[in-house]
Chain A
Amino acid sequence: MKRQGMPLSQLPFGMRGVVRELRAETSSRRRLLDLGLVAGTPVETVLRSPAGNPMAYEIRGALIALRNAEAGQIIVDMM
């Protein structure tokens, strides 16, 4: 089942998605861009912290931890 346009924070564990857009503003947007998170970038949820927030995602070969607040501003299409 494909789901379109969901926040990355809701991408189920172990699933892959593709970035559709960034809703983050200013400095936090730039930092996400620095990681290569532009539209079309594949991401995968690979690690859950003990509390379930933050989560760690595989982004362009690197493992990046994001709080749900940040990941919620990244809109992805589930693959």
Chain B
Amino acid sequence: MGLTTQSTGAQVRKDFSIPGPGDRTEKVIALAGNPNTGKSTVFNSLTGMNQHTGNWPGKTVTNALGRYQYDNEKYLLMDLPGTYSLLSSSVEEEVARDFICFGQPDVSVVVTDATSLERNLNLVLQILEITDRVVVCVNLMDEAQRKRIRVDLEQLEQELGVPVVGTNARKGEGLDALKTAIAQMAAGAKSQPRQVGYPQEIETVVASLSPRLTGLIPNSRWLALRLASGEESIIVSLEKYLQGDNPRDFLHTVSQEGDEISMDLIVTSIVGEAENIYKKTVHLENEKHNAVDRKIDSVLTSKVFGFPIMIAMLGLIFWLTIQGANYPSQLLAKLLFGIEDWLSGLALWESLPPWIYGILVTGMYRTLAWVVSVMLPPMAIFFPLFTLLEDLGYLPRVAFNLDHRFNKACAHGKQALTMCMGFGCNAAGVIACRIIDSPRERLIATITNNFVPCNGRFPIIIVMATAFLAIRAGSLGKGIAVLAVLAVVIIGIIITLWVSKLLSRTILRGLPSSFILEMPPYRKPQVGKILVRSLFDRTLFVLGRAVAVAAPAGALVWLMANITIADVSLLAHGARLLAPLGWLMGLDGVILVGFLLGLPANEIVLPIIIMSYLASGSIQEMESLASLQQLLVANGWTWLTAVNVMLLSLLHFPCATTLWTIRKETQSWKWTVISFLVPTIVGIIACVSVAAVVRLLGMLF
């Protein structure tokens, strides 16, 4: 066999340009842990802003890579996907296992949750079987203290045989001790990792296999266990990451030499070991430490209050967003259009042809100003509120409440979580679909994600609601507008369930897969951190993308509005062409042109429509909603038009960014096209039906 330890893992390291152990200028640290342990908080606290995220090559699993310095030494921190175990062969677990095993990190840090240490110890023990270069971080010590769960860290360190550090990563407590422990381990500190004791029948098989496997990877005992339990995926990984002769036949022979050991027996031994350690190191001073959580849960998921509370929460978020965004929006508009006046006053333009001014200022800048002033304030309110709910731990309860409906539609309960992300941004929602394991259910969630309106579409829906419903109703207006927006959202959810069911019965036929969802304890949110992270991670990201598409789109729209054929602009030609379909859908040609040209970003749909009506060849600043309403009514709008525009905003093709994301996630043009067609067809049917019914009733009464 030409297999050596030196060649091990070259591929893994090459994937991330990590040098081999011999020629490293910085220490490589792997960060592993169960989901919901605050692993990313630990990662963020250690690396600060010095990080970037991407995908594992060829896999739709996110990875984050960050760097920090400590005591004149440089560290490269690799955030592995959160997993409960390394034995289940999900993609996440393979990625985590392969990095720890073949990437040869200098230290593997396992982040655990002090409030549910027993389950977390499973993963710790599995990692200790692979490597002795381990530091265990017991996070959320403050939560444990609050629940009067006492974790004896010293005892735990003795039991595990590797350094154990207690932290409260959210407050930054214990991180220095963690860095010290990592540094010492990286410098070669001694450790005696606890090894799981297996029943004699397993040990005999392992003893017979492992001598033949020495030198392949650092830990032959671990490999023998995997091979003997018939883990096919480890052979695939070995083949990929070991260079030299093809190891497949050799490994298959070895794996067949020993008696087959059942996976159950292995897991039972690990779980038993974890239970023993847990009993020696954790003391519950209050057996009823979960009582408060359970009480909250029994209200939030109750038959009577579960759904009303969910709808009320959603309504409250919309209300705060609509109410709060109003004033800053006007302020921003004033500021940005003030800059435009200054731009227009520049002497520069006199020496240039007028169309350059047209494209740059009235086209690009004005569209940009519109998008920023309309979008930034609601997003800056919506995203932090949403992150707050996420941080509190409420979202898994939403999935728990709604799962029954998704089950009936043969879809996955976690689809509710991906929909929640969709409220922020559908592209983000599509990426979130990775949390669904079954490919069939993931596709259903991907295709239907567009039925929840994103932040780019909320402004249209909100403007329609306020301009046509709120203005009439006077002081009650805002409340009615909120109810209208809520109604649109609920229609979207109902259509999501219908279409999911339809897909399960037709092109994505199948039965629901297993649904296992952990509902983490409620946690006190860190308001300051939420503000910063949601602003940077979500608001600025989405805004940046919107700006990137709005500027070129603004230029294009300006050109279409100003290039004329037979004295009529291209925009008007398009509107004329689409007028019959528009009438049928209870809309007009201009609106349809607006939606089509809005493909790059939904935020520019309304500006295009306004621009076309004013026929002035550039986006206009609408000083007030009242003047907007007058303009629309003068162009033949009725309340039917407003309702159908709201419907079409909810039900039409995803924006270009989302489509591109779907293409990347599904690796298939077919599903991208289907994701385009499904909502579009639903939208056309919905608008045509509503228009037909209303017109029929209008004739009768």
Give the B-binding residues of A (Cβ under 8 A). 22, 24, 27-28, 30-36, 38-39, 41, 46-54, 56, 58-67, 69-70
Distance, CA A74 to CA B298, complexed state (A): 24
Give the A-binding residues of B (Cβ under 8 A). 84-85, 87-90, 115-119, 122, 263-264, 267-268, 271-272, 274-275, 290, 293-294, 297-298, 301-303, 306-307, 396, 399-401, 403-405, 407, 413, 437, 512-521
CB pair A61 B118 closer than 8 Å: yes
Query: Which residues of A have CB within 8 Å of B399?
Result: 65
Known: A36-B271, A53-B404. A30 touches B514 (CB 8 A): no
CB pair B88 A35 closer than 8 Å: no
CB pair A47 B515 closer than 8 Å: no
CB pair A62 B518 closer than 8 Å: yes
CB pair B401 A50 closer than 8 Å: yes
Known: A35-B516, A65-B400, A66-B515. A30 touches B294 (CB 8 A): no
A-B contact pairs, 27 of them (CB 8 A): A22-B264, A27-B89, A27-B90, A30-B87, A30-B263, A31-B516, A33-B267, A34-B84, A34-B122, A36-B118, A36-B275, A47-B294, A47-B297, A47-B298, A49-B400, A50-B307, A59-B119, A60-B119, A61-B117, A63-B293, A63-B520, A63-B521, A65-B396, A65-B400, A65-B518, A69-B512, A70-B514
Query: Which residues of A have CB within 8 Å of B302?
Result: 50
CB pair A64 B516 closer than 8 Å: yes
Distance, CA A28 to CA B88, complexed state (A): 9
CB pair A50 B515 closer than 8 Å: no
CB pair A38 B301 closer than 8 Å: no
List of 9 A-B pairs having minimum Cβ-Cβ separation, nearest first: A51-B404, A28-B514, A34-B85, A34-B84, A30-B88, A50-B306, A65-B517, A61-B116, A38-B268
Name the one of B88, B274, B298 contacting A31, with C-beta atoms under 8 angstroms: B88
B673 to chain A, nearest CB (A): 30
Q: Nearest residue in A to B303 (C-beta to C-beta)? A: A50
Query: Which residues of B have CB within 8 Å of A51?
Result: 404-405
Known: A31-B514, A34-B122, A50-B307. A67 touches B301 (CB 8 A): no
Name the one of B87, B293, B437 contacting A34, with C-beta atoms under 8 angstroms: B87
CB pair A56 B303 closer than 8 Å: no
The A interface, classified by DSSP as helix, strand, loop or mixed, is mixed
Name the one of A33, A36, A56 contacting B519, with C-beta atoms under 8 angstroms: A56
Q: Nearest residue in A to B396 (C-beta to C-beta)? A: A65
Name the one of A33, A38, A64, A69 contacting B518, with C-beta atoms under 8 angstroms: A64
CB pair A70 B515 closer than 8 Å: yes
Distance, CA A8 to CA B619, complexed state (A): 62
Known: A35-B119, A36-B271, A65-B413. 11 other contacts (CB 8 A): A27-B88, A30-B89, A31-B516, A33-B264, A34-B122, A38-B267, A38-B271, A47-B294, A54-B403, A54-B413, A60-B275
Name the one of A34, A56, A67, A69 contacting B88, with C-beta atoms under 8 angstroms: A34
Query: Which residues of B have CB within 8 Å of A33?
Result: 85, 87-88, 263-264, 267, 271
Query: Which residues of A have CB within 8 Å of B521?
Result: 63
CB pair A35 B116 closer than 8 Å: no
Q: Nearest residue in B to A21 (C-beta to C-beta)? A: B264
Known: A27-B88, A49-B306, A50-B307. A67 touches B115 (CB 8 A): no
CB pair B403 A65 closer than 8 Å: yes
Distance, CA A61 to CA B301, complexed state (A): 20
Distance, CA A60 to CA B116, complexed state (A): 8
Q: Nearest residue in A to B86 (C-beta to C-beta)? A: A34
Known: A49-B306, A50-B307. A62 touches B119 (CB 8 A): yes
CB pair B297 A61 closer than 8 Å: no
Query: Which residues of B have CB within 8 Å of A63?
Result: 290, 293, 297, 518-521
Query: Which residues of A have CB within 8 Å of B267?
Result: 33-34, 38
CB pair B119 A48 closer than 8 Å: no
Distance, CA A64 to CA B116, complexed state (A): 12
CB pair A65 B515 closer than 8 Å: yes
Distance, CA A35 to CA B324, complexed state (A): 43
